[in-house]
Chains A and B, each alone.
Chain A
Amino acid sequence: MSLLFAILFYVAAAIFVVGLAAKIISFARTPAPLSIPTTPAPTTTGGVVLRMFREVAFFESLFKGNLWIWMFAAAFHFGLALVLVRHLRYFIEPVWFWVDFAQPFGMYAGFAMAAGLGGLWARRFLVERIRYISTTSDHLMLALLLIIAVTGLGMKFIVHTDIVAVKTFFLGLMRFDIQPLPEHPGLYIHLACVALLMIIFPFSKLLHAPGVFFSPSRNQTDNPREARHLSSWAAKLEKN
């Protein structure tokens, strides 16, 4: 079983990294031929960085759009961020002080994460408009994340696993030295789902994470009268 999970994580990590890199390269290489920021937009690069920060850190546009979705999305994403920080301890030795510091917060963030996911999923059933636009994969994605959250919380609060052994396993993986993984069904489900999430990441709507940084309506500076904005393919038209 340990070997199986080791292979699974190597494959998942490879797909995640290569797939995501390929997507990011394709986003970056595709030209944006026209200046299309949604205005009012910042007129300086610093302003654009700030706008992007507000978008990524506070979901500013979503806040303007729908408070319910914002609340659930914020609970899920901020919860997830803290949980990820908390999980860093499985990959580093000695544990950095701020990861140590975040441990108790990360624990409760797991509940926020699960609650946020529950809220987002409930909307897919309860709100007619969102039911209409939901695809099977939208539901499965939430199910996957919720399974990860619930099994994680289960191991923390109900049926513990040997987390020292888990850490040994992952530190071993990073040195290509496969160590035994504790036998624990909850842990198996948790890790299998995480690996699956990594595998589908580059092929799914999870691409919203890198995508937001490349969105021309958000990342462009509002200066078209001061600077000429010409893509490579558009410049060729002027040669004729």
Chain B
Amino acid sequence: MAGPDSKPVITAPAFRDYPSIPALQPGATEGVRCYVANEKIQEALGFPGKLADNWQETHDKAIGRMGELLDKYRSLRVYMDACVHCGSCTDKCHYFIGTGDPKNMPVARQDLMRSVYRRYFTPAGKLFPNLVGARDLTREVLDEWYTYYWQCSECRRCSVFCPYGIDTAEITMAGREILDHVGYGQKYSNEIIGKVHKIGNNLGLPGPALIDTLTGLEEDVKEETGCDVRYPVDEQGAEVLLVTPSADFFAEPHIESTIGYGKVFHAAGISWTFSSKASEAGNFGMFIGNYDQLRKIALRVREAALELGVKRIVVGECGHAWRVAYAFWNTLAGIGAGANDPFAVELQKQLDPRYKQPTHICELTWDLIQQGRLKFDKSANDHRRITFHDSCNVARASRMGDYPGGQFDIPRNIIKAVANNFVDMAPETIHEKTFCCGGGGGVLTDELLDIRVKGALPRMEALKRVVDDHDVNFMATICAICKAQFTKVLPYYGYKSGMVGGVHQLVSTAIQLGNEQ
């Protein structure tokens, strides 16, 4: 059995000859649990430090919180009632496909909570619990929630196939919120959120270190290209504030895309800056389903934008960050347009209405390409045969450009504009049907490596087909978590870590900075 206490040997599941649905293996991943947050981490976010000694107290708090969430979130209320157990979602989750554990079937993951909802909030469950699959909330049930709500990457693939649009991510978020509320938080996510509040980004990189890193980057790029491409921080009066996941500042291959962002701004002559206060696009408040945390983290971007006086806010390559930015920032922090309340108007009157606020870096680059403001030497990417992995939050929870589905076309259009060899993976594994990398939604932590490797199976199978048929050697993606996850799990499937990289890494390779003669 795999678990944080043993040293499991983690192996990738075998590639399937046909995309057959696995037989159920009850309990297959019941031992895969992430570390629980300690008191210090919990209390820094205003959550109880640990579970109460007395179970009744925990029980009442959990049920009380559930009632509050049912009153606050229509999604949760409707999704608890609407499921008919039709089974359409049962084979859609990458964790189920990779592990065979029936509790990783989306409907079963939902039922972990729905069974409790029925017992405490519906007449049928109060009167006939056994008939309708209702059960009391016990310590065992709470542990089960912790295990399986932390084996969900909130990727929303199941919701695409649900006849009522039931989104397991919403239920996972509610589950995690209840767990936090009773002092049963996850170390990985809550520690990271603490770092954002204290230092400004997920990786805990303080302002001076950030400036130091970026100065070094300027020197490297100068050496490589001969151009004075700048990577400025906190530059007052810059036109664009670029908010990017902090992994982009030094992780591989993330940094290659960061170099690309700077080159795009340089070539287009747009003044821009990073912010040391908003040095993180990621927002793990979403992962834990906590509105307050989600909002507080988003407000840092608002404050930075107001302080720096920028006209545009652009977001770097990050999946869930783009979901939060695109779909939530206007609500949380007034970053957007169309508001008439003083809070949002204060910022919106500063932002340039000619541009979408916020803008995805891919939207910005693609606009520049269409205007003919960027020049490329496509042959510079000829050593690469490229495919594109749609990141779940970009694909199923956001948009780019002016029409539904622009989030699929724009990154691909950029790749085709900067490289000659592009091929898509199988249609049932891309666009809205894309498979999660296996590491999203707050599970990108080493003690969950077992399910991360197994959850990557469907994506790896799709990749294998284009590797075998088209000699693909590069999988581009626009998500910091996808990049980190693939870097880690590709070797388990026999591929090199370096196969994964960013779209702006490809841009960076091919872009002409104006001094090439």
Distance, CA A132 to CA B102, complexed state (A): 8
A174 an interface residue at 8 Å Cβ cutoff? no
Contact A35 B132, beta carbon cutoff 8 Å: no
Residues 104-127 of chain A, each 1 if its beta carbon lies under 8 Å from chain B, else 0:
000000000000000010010001
Contact B88 A66, beta carbon cutoff 8 Å: yes
* Residues A36 and B85 in contact in the complex (CB < 8 Å), given A30-B71, A41-B404, A218-B165: no
A228 an interface residue at 8 Å Cβ cutoff? yes
Which residues of chain B have C-beta atoms less than 8 A from A65's C-beta?
Answer: 88-89, 92, 160-163
CB-contact partner of B87 in A33, A123, A230, under 8 A: A123
A93 an interface residue at 8 Å Cβ cutoff? no
Distance, CA A66 to CA B107, complexed state (A): 14
Which residues of chain B have C-beta atoms less than 8 A from A230's C-beta?
Answer: 331, 341
Interfacial residues of chain B within 326-364, with CB under 8 A of chain A in the complex: 326-328, 330-331, 334, 336-339, 341, 343-344, 356-358
Residue of B nearest to A123 (CB): B87
Interfacial residues of chain A within 35-61, with CB under 8 A of chain B in the complex: 35-36, 38-43, 55, 59, 61
Contact A69 B87, beta carbon cutoff 8 Å: yes
Contact B124 A203, beta carbon cutoff 8 Å: yes
A17 an interface residue at 8 Å Cβ cutoff? no
In the complex, identify which listed stretch (A4-12, A84-92, A160-168, A204-212) lies at the interface while the others stay far away: A204-212
A227 an interface residue at 8 Å Cβ cutoff? yes
* Residues A211 and B331 in contact in the complex (CB < 8 Å), given A27-B74, A228-B339: no
A215 an interface residue at 8 Å Cβ cutoff? yes
A75 an interface residue at 8 Å Cβ cutoff? no
Contact A38 B160, beta carbon cutoff 8 Å: yes
A97 an interface residue at 8 Å Cβ cutoff? no
Contact B131 A217, beta carbon cutoff 8 Å: no
Which residues of chain B have C-beta atoms less than 8 A from A136's C-beta?
Answer: 130-133
CB-contact partner of B161 in A36, A39, A61, A215, under 8 A: A61
Distance, CA A224 to CA B322, complexed state (A): 12
Which residues of chain B have C-beta atoms less than 8 A from A200's C-beta?
Answer: 124
Interfacial residues of chain A within 180-236, with CB under 8 A of chain B in the complex: 200, 203-205, 207-208, 211-212, 214-218, 222, 224-231, 233-235
Contact B131 A36, beta carbon cutoff 8 Å: no
Contact B358 A62, beta carbon cutoff 8 Å: no
Bin the interface of chain B by size.
Answer: 35 or more
Distance, CA A128 to CA B96, complexed state (A): 14
Distance, CA A61 to CA B122, complexed state (A): 27
Residues 67-97 of chain B, each 1 if its beta carbon lies under 8 Å from chain A, else 0:
0001111110111011111111111100000
Which residues of chain A have C-beta atoms less than 8 A from B170's C-beta?
Answer: 36
Which residues of chain B have C-beta atoms less than 8 A from A226's C-beta?
Answer: 336-338
A158 an interface residue at 8 Å Cβ cutoff? no
B164 an interface residue at 8 Å Cβ cutoff? yes
Which residues of chain B have C-beta atoms less than 8 A from A69's C-beta?
Answer: 86-88
The smallest C-beta distance from B84 to any residue of chain A, in angstroms, reads: 5
B159 an interface residue at 8 Å Cβ cutoff? yes
Residue of A nearest to B343 (CB): A238
B50 an interface residue at 8 Å Cβ cutoff? no
Contact A128 B123, beta carbon cutoff 8 Å: no
Which residues of chain B have C-beta atoms less than 8 A from A208's C-beta?
Answer: 81-84, 163-164
Contact A207 B432, beta carbon cutoff 8 Å: no
Contact A129 B102, beta carbon cutoff 8 Å: yes
Contact B82 A40, beta carbon cutoff 8 Å: no
Which residues of chain B have C-beta atoms less than 8 A from A42's C-beta?
Answer: 404
CB-contact partner of B24 in A59, A128, A222, under 8 A: A128
Which residues of chain B have C-beta atoms less than 8 A from A132's C-beta?
Answer: 24, 102, 105, 108
CB-contact partner of B356 in A129, A137, A217, A225, under 8 A: A225
Contact A130 B74, beta carbon cutoff 8 Å: no
Contact A35 B108, beta carbon cutoff 8 Å: no
Residue of A nearest to B397 (CB): A39
The smallest C-beta distance from B323 to any residue of chain A, in angstroms, reads: 9
A237 an interface residue at 8 Å Cβ cutoff? yes
Contact A30 B70, beta carbon cutoff 8 Å: yes
Interfacial residues of chain A within 124-175, with CB under 8 A of chain B in the complex: 127-130, 132-138, 140
Distance, CA A166 to CA B160, complexed state (A): 45
Which residues of chain B have C-beta atoms less than 8 A from A233's C-beta?
Answer: 72
Distance, CA A136 to CA B163, complexed state (A): 22
Which residues of chain A have C-beta atoms less than 8 A from B122's C-beta?
Answer: 203
Distance, CA A236 to CA B333, complexed state (A): 13
The smallest C-beta distance from A102 to any residue of chain B, in angstroms, reads: 25
B396 an interface residue at 8 Å Cβ cutoff? yes
Residues 112-154 of chain B, each 1 if its beta carbon lies under 8 Å from chain A, else 0:
0000000000111000001111000000000000000000000
Contact A228 B404, beta carbon cutoff 8 Å: no
Distance, CA A70 to CA B120, complexed state (A): 32
B403 an interface residue at 8 Å Cβ cutoff? yes
A178 an interface residue at 8 Å Cβ cutoff? no
Which residues of chain B have C-beta atoms less than 8 A from A82's C-beta?
Answer: none
Contact B85 A64, beta carbon cutoff 8 Å: no
* Residues A43 and B404 in contact in the complex (CB < 8 Å), given A27-B74, A225-B357: yes
CB-contact partner of B164 in A40, A130, A218, A224, under 8 A: A218
Residue of A nearest to B110 (CB): A133
* Residues A133 and B85 in contact in the complex (CB < 8 Å), given A38-B160, A224-B330: yes
B395 an interface residue at 8 Å Cβ cutoff? yes
Distance, CA A23 to CA B395, complexed state (A): 33
Contact B344 A135, beta carbon cutoff 8 Å: no
Contact B336 A33, beta carbon cutoff 8 Å: no
CB-contact partner of A228 in B295, B341, B395, under 8 A: B341
The smallest C-beta distance from B235 to any residue of chain A, in angstroms, reads: 25
A83 an interface residue at 8 Å Cβ cutoff? no
Contact B70 A211, beta carbon cutoff 8 Å: no
Contact B397 A38, beta carbon cutoff 8 Å: yes
Which residues of chain B have C-beta atoms less than 8 A from A229's C-beta?
Answer: 330-331
Known: A30-B77, A65-B88, A227-B330. 9 other contacts (CB 8 A): A31-B73, A59-B163, A65-B160, A128-B24, A132-B24, A135-B133, A136-B130, A212-B163, A224-B326
Q: Which 7 A-B pairs have the closest CB atoms?
A: A65-B161, A211-B82, A65-B88, A40-B404, A135-B133, A217-B165, A218-B165
Which chain A residues have a beta carbon within 8 Å of chain B's beta carbons? 23, 26-27, 30-36, 38-43, 55, 59, 61-62, 64-66, 69, 73, 120, 123, 127-130, 132-138, 140, 200, 203-205, 207-208, 211-212, 214-218, 222, 224-231, 233-235, 237-238
Q: What are 10 A-B residue pairs whose CB atoms fall within 8 Å in the complex?
A: A62-B86, A62-B163, A69-B86, A129-B87, A203-B124, A212-B163, A212-B165, A224-B327, A227-B337, A228-B339
